[in-house]
Amino acid sequence: MTQAVAIVIAVSLVVFVAAHVSLLVSLLGRPSRVRGLVALVVPPLAPYWGWREGLKLRVYVWATTLTLYTAGVALLANA
């Protein structure tokens, strides 16, 4: 069980990082490019600006994987 949760956590983290990088690259490729760099330092701004740019799928993935990761870590900590 612990191993399975740990694998879910790892996969969530990897997908989360991929979604975050993808949002940053998209923001860097659009006007007001500085948002891409700012979102690198302040991660929550990536989904905020991503949503405003219409990158909804990536924002969903970002939020879901972050939730899964946090929940998984909490679960393991209490196990």
Partner 1 sequence: MRAAYWMLGALAVLSIGYRYYSAFLAAKVLCLDDARATPAHLHRDGQNFHPTSRWVLFGHHFAAISGAGPLIGPVLAAQFGFYPGFLWILFGVVLAGAVQDFVILVASTRRGGRSLAEIAREELGPRLGLVTAVSILFIVVIALAGLGNVVVGALSESAWGVFTVGASVPIALAMGLYIYKVRGGSSRGIREATAMGCALLFAALLVGKGVADSPWAEHLKLSRTVLTLAMASYGFVASILPVWMLLCPRDYLSSYLKIGTIFLLVAGVLVVNPPIQMPGVTPWIHGGGPILKGPLFPFVFITIACGAISGFHALVASGTTPKMVDKERDCRTIGYGAMLMEGLVGITALVAACVMPTEDYVAINTDPKVAVVASAETHGEGLAASAGDLARAFPSFTEHDRDLLGVPASAGQGAGDLASAAGLAPRKLPASKVLALSNGALFSLGYHVDPAAPRATTLDEGDFARLGLHVKELPHLAETSGEVVAARTGGGVSLAVGMARVFSALPGMNALLAYWYHFAIMFEALFILTTIDTGTRIGRFLMQEFMGRVDPRLGASTSVTGAVLSTLLIVAGWTYFILTGSIATIWPMFGIANQLLACTALAIGTTLLLRESPRRVYALVTALPLAFVSTTTLTAGVESILVLYWPMTRVAATRTTGLVNSGVTGLLLVCIGLILAGSARRWVALLRAPRAATVVGAVAGMRALESRSA
Chain centroid to CA 52: 16
- Interface characters, 22-61, with partner 1 (x: CB under 8 A): ---x--xx--------------------------------
Q: Does 11 bind partner 1 (CB under 8 A)?
A: yes
Which residues does 56 contact at the CB level (< 8 Å), separation at least 6? 50
The size of the interface with partner 1 (CB under 8 A), counted in residues, is 21
Please, are residues 28 and 37 in contact by the beta-carbon 8 Å criterion? yes
Nearer to partner 1, 11 or 63 (CB): 11
